Chains A and B, each alone.
Chain A
Amino acid sequence: GESVGLHLPTLSVQEGDNSIINCAYSNSASDYFIWYKQESGKGPQFIIDIRSNMDKRQGQRVTVLLNKTVKHLSLQIAATQPGDSAVYFCAEISPASKLTFGTGTRLQVTL
C-alpha cells in the first residue's frame, strides 16, 4: 500500500491493551472534530466525531475526549485488536468550513 507518512509518530500496543492517541489542534474557533482511521491502500475512514459543546463521546470500543482549554483531542481504543493497526488522523472543522488534518499517528498492535 501507499506510504501514508514515513515519519509519523508510532504507538505500539499489545493486543488487548487500551490505546490512547493524542492530537493537538490549532484553531480555537474550530467547533467540530473527527477521528479518521486510514489503513494501507485505503482512504481515511470515519471513526467518531465530537462537537465543541461536548467534552466526551463514546462509540463502540472508542471514546473521544475534547479539552478545549488546551486544544487537545484524544482517541481511546479499548481492547485493541490487530485490525486496529492503521494510521489515525484527527481533523478539525472551523466555522470557515475548512477541514484541517493533524499529522497522524501510526498504531501498531503487537500479538
Chain B
Amino acid sequence: KAGVTQTPRYLIKTRGQQVTLSCSPISGHRSVSWYQQTPGQGLQFLFEYFSETQRNKGNFPGRFSGRQFSNSRSEMNVSTLELGDSALYLCASMVATSSETQYFGPGTRLLVL
C-alpha cells in the first residue's frame, strides 16, 4: 500500500504570494491532518479534514485554509505569505477516528523570501 504523498517537496515563494500544497492520503484513509513544523515552534496542528469537512482546527490565522476532495485528497493554501511561514508542512492521514495512528507524508519544505 502506498504511503502518504505530498507535492511539491520543495517550494520557494516571495512575501505576499500565495501557495497551495497537496496531500494524497493512504488508500482507504478518510482523515487528513496538516501540521507546520519549524525549529522554534516544533510541530503545530493546522487543521484536520474528514469526509470533505473540517473537523478540527488549530490556532492559525485565516490566511491558512484547506479543503478535502471526495477522493480524500487534500490541499492547503496559504495566502499573503510572510517570512515566518517558512516551514516544513506535513500531512498525515488515518482511517477515520482520532484514536488511531496517523501516518505522515515526507512534507513540503516552503521557503518564503
Chain A residues in contact with chain B, CB under 8 A? 2-7, 31-32, 34, 36, 41-46, 49, 51, 89, 93-104
Q: Which applies to chain A's interface (DSSP): helix, strand, loop or mixed?
A: loop
Q: Establish whether residues B98 and A97, one from each chain, have CB atoms under 8 Å apart when the complex forms.
A: yes
B25 interfacial contact with A, CB 8 Å: no
* A103 contacts across to B, CB distance below 8 A: 42
CB nearest neighbor in A for B107: A43
Top 9 A-B pairs ranked by shortest CB distance? A97-B98, A43-B104, A101-B43, A6-B39, A44-B104, A43-B106, A3-B39, A43-B107, A103-B42
Complex alpha-carbon distance, A100 and B98, angstroms: 12
- Give chain B residues whose Cβ lies under 8 Å from the Cβ of A89: 43
| B104 touching A99, Cβ below 8 Å | no
Q: Is the CB of A31 within 8 A of B104?
A: no
Is A101 within 8 A of B98, CB to CB? no
Residues of B within 8 A of A31 (CB): 99
Interface residue B103 (Cβ < 8 Å from any Cβ of A): yes
Q: Which bucket holds chain B's interface residue count? A: 20 to 34
Q: Which residues of B contact A (CB under 8 A)?
A: 4, 33, 35, 37, 39-40, 42-43, 45, 48, 55-56, 58, 88, 90, 92, 97-99, 101-107, 109
Interface centre among A2, A32, A46 (most CB of B within 10 A): A2
- Minimum CB–CB distance for A44 against chain B, Å: 5
CB distance from B97 to the nearest CB of A (A): 8
Taken together as a complex, chains A and B put the C-alpha atoms of A4 and B104 apart, in Å, by 15
- Asked if B109 and A97 make an inter-chain contact with CB atoms under 8 angstroms apart, the answer reads no
The smallest beta-carbon distance between B95 and chain A, in angstroms, is 13
Q: Are B99 and A99 in contact (CB under 8 A)?
A: no
Residue of B nearest to A43 (CB): B104
- CB neighbours (8 Å) of A94 from chain B are 98
A65 to B103 CA separation, bound complex (whole angstroms): 22
Within the assembled complex, what's the spacing in Å between the Cα atoms of A46 and B94? 12
* B42 and A104 within 8 A (CB): yes
| Complex CA distance for A42 and B6, rounded to whole angstroms | 11
- By a CB distance below 8 angstroms, the chain B residues around A102 are 42
In contact, A34 and B90 (Cβ under 8 angstroms): no
